[in-house]
Structure 1
């Protein structure tokens, strides 16, 4: 997701879900002091508008993202915010920068960790980021049938050569979508689990155009398509995704184009703590 403006204009569902979790855990967030980090901050709007105002006045926030474009945008837009800075960081890297180890009192992350091929490494790195007794609050996708469309289209002769790594973009927990799997992983990493839940969610896209903008903003393959295939790929991907969703007809003569699209999916929410007097993990 390197298309910054497209993502900003098409991320209402992500923004809503993050806002709801931040509201639910507002007491815990208000008690977060010291240096905090928001993993997968994207363009920085959730960091600035939702997280920072909830933190203790004594806290400072570092927004981190793997995308250079996202970080450059956030640095420019929020350069005057004295309590916030931004850092390019791959939370899935097998070799973590020494200067980041045990640097943070708290970690937050919303709609990021499902993109990790190896979430075990990501959670070990979060553990390593935290000081002893530091806490982490994370929320990410557990399952969305839209990912099944990636695998189906990767077998289409027209697009196959551009989607050879399609399975890389299907989240780990999409294949083993259970709260027990996540809880076991967090315990094995060494976390004390304060909360862990799997929740059903839904979002209504008011028309096909809004749904298409969302698809374009988060789809990892569109930018790979050559010019002569891009429009065709977008149309085929859109039809495949819509076939997996629930159409809500409206009183118009536009047919499916005039329908709302109901998207049902699941998220994981976890709140955990690093025990005192612990050592950093190594891979």
Structure 2
């Protein structure tokens, strides 16, 4: 946190929304059925919202109000304020795995204002608040649901070589409850974590403030700036302003523009939830018999990673391969149509592929078989040339409106997970115009996820869920994968122009990171519930460790860096006339 004083000065733009929120839930805040209530405010920051708005809204006979924040600097600042003796401040990361015993079953009400969109493990945060509330205790919070501007700024900064290494973790600040079924998703999410939703509201509102106040607020929340040497701070802040200009389409670099009032729109989620009277949640790590597996299980149960692939480890590889093959394309000098197959969460698509396309591209279509992925991509997209469609590249027939439509097809790692490689390439050919070109790369020798499913299909209790993988084999089972690839492409009407089989392609990754990548791809786990899910994880990990010959269970070694091999084939092909 760059500065408690900076946060204090720039929290003002939030007050309009805080005041309206507190007015909306004034009856809850007054706790009419309770006396001497205990209250916690999560993410109190500099304490300004707590002292100026929350405190006056509480009943006068409240027993205690504790503000907590993960940053020591904030708590140190708040500790110097002159406040009601019943008000205190404590350091607490709401995502902690080690919740202080003194907080358990203590509070009648927990509030939070503009905090949870900076939480990477929201499920763990909810579980902790569940533990801290008394039976029947209530939770009130408000947070933005649309693209977090700070997250998007980090995404832009990560594209700059100078700052790339600083933002390895930025992509964990993900959007929640944004799909077409977000209402059902929201209710199920809270139910799973021991809460009943009394009410909630998705509301778009506007604020008109000077641009400098808007950006200064997010600068105050920038936790990465403290890691930058003093002599590079000015250069970083300039890049920060430039990236915000890209995100908000407002000139945050020009001094005159900073003084102008600008209208910004933000969608909010406000929630009033209640801890179920008799609910006791099982510990996340209860599927293991030993204490050392706690961190591992926390990773595997992280909800955000279930919906999209963390592609950070592939960016450099894909960038290198696309650069090589894009230089050798022979695309016509006319308005071009481009399709990306297996777009997923859109990270490789938006950060690597799209910026490399020629200027005469008129339309870019991202596709994936998962509609939730497409909804996520749509929510992030601001380019009118880009659209997203659901598409299963292994279907017997491709949609008629996509046939013979594209000059260029791209795909990054999607074909690793197709079961019928021949059908996927045949469909790719149908999507291309005559002389249209294809750039594709995927893992070809092994797939630890599907290999694990194959072994689980031999187990009676999981056969119904994994039987489709009983006959799973890798794409090229013969001794000469080059010959197999050429034959598949030729039979699909594609001429292979260039290719490379990289048998030694590998990443230097921690064991923790390997698990995060594979768990984000585990599409079987989400179809299970309760104890079944826990048993599935236990068996999955046992087999996964055996197949990879790596021990992922020891908490002490989870951060050890290992050499994890992903044999990869890349290719450039052209559809024959």
Q: C-alpha deviations, 1:47-106, integer Å up to 9, x for none? A: 12211111112212111111111111112103x412211111111012222221111111
Q: 1 CA distance for matches of 2:205 and 2:57?
A: 24
Q: Distance in 2 between matches of 1:258 and 1:75?
A: 34
Q: Secondary structure at the match of 1:157?
A: coil
**Correspondence 1:229 to 2:232:** yes
Q: Which residue does 1:265 correspond to in 2?
A: 266
- The partner residue of 1:124 within 120, 124, 127 is 127
Determine if contact 1:2/1:67 at 8 Å carries over to the other structure.
Answer: no
Distance 2:176 2:146 in 1: 7
Q: 1:16 to 1:258 in 2, by over 3 A?
A: closer
| Residue among 157, 161, 164 paired with 1:160 | 164
- Aligned mates of 1:258, 1:133 — CA distance in 2: 48
Alignment partner, residue 102 of structure 2 = 99
Contact 1:245 1:262 in 2 (8 A): no
How far apart are the structure 1 equivalents of 2:244 and 2:110?
A: 33
Per the TM alignment, residue 120 of structure 1 is displaced from its structure 2 partner at its CA by: 0.6
Residue of structure 2 equivalent to 1:45 = 48
1:1-283 equivalence runs, <5 A = 1-31=1-31, 33=35, 34-59=37-62, 60-78=64-82, 80-144=83-147, 146=149, 147-168=151-172, 170-173=173-176, 178-207=182-211, 209-245=212-248, 247=250, 256-283=257-284
Query: Does the C-alpha gap of structure 1 residues 144 and 174 become closer, same or farther in structure 2, counting only changes over 3 Å?
Result: farther
The 8 Å contact of residues 245 and 261 in structure 1, kept in 2 or not, is answered as no
Higher relative contact order (CA 8 A, sep 6+): 1
Deviation at 1:213, TM superposition (A): 2.2
Query: Please, what TM-score do these two structures have when normalized by structure 2?
Result: 0.45
Q: CA deviation at 1:262?
A: 2.8
CA contact (8 A) 1:136 1:272 kept: yes
Deviation at 1:175, TM superposition (A): 7.1
Residue 109 of structure 2 contacts residue 139 of structure 2 at CA under 8 Å; is this kept in 1?
yes
How far, CA to CA, are the matches of 1:109 and 1:255 in structure 2? 35
Instruction: Return closer, same or farther for 1:116/1:263 CA change in 2, 3 Å cut-off.
Output: same
1:41 CA displacement: 1.0
Q: Which moved more, 1:254-263 or 1:146-155?
A: 254-263
CA distance in 1, matches of 2:246, 2:183: 27
CA displacement at 1:145 relative to structure 2: 5.3
Could you tell me how far 1:154 is from its partner in structure 2? Answer: 0.8
Output the CA distance in 2 between the equivalents of 1:272 and 1:103.
17
TM-score using structure 1 length: 0.88
Q: 1:206 to 1:215 in 2, by over 3 A?
A: same
> Cα distance 1:2–1:127, how it changes in 2: closer, same or farther (>3 A)?
farther
Q: Deviations over 1:156-203 (max 9, x none)?
A: 1011122222223x2342876944433221111121111122221322
Secondary structure at the counterpart of residue 77 of structure 1: coil
Q: 1:89 to 1:236 in 2, by over 3 A?
A: same
Secondary structure in 2 matching 1:143: coil
Structure index of larger Rg: 2
Q: Whole-Å Cα distance in 2 between the matches of residues 255 and 67 of structure 1?
A: 34
Q: Which runs of 5+ in 2 are unaligned?
A: 285-577
Q: Is the 8 A contact 2:79 2:89 kept in 1?
A: yes
Is the contact between residue 145 and residue 269 of structure 2 (CA under 8 Å) also seen in structure 1?
yes
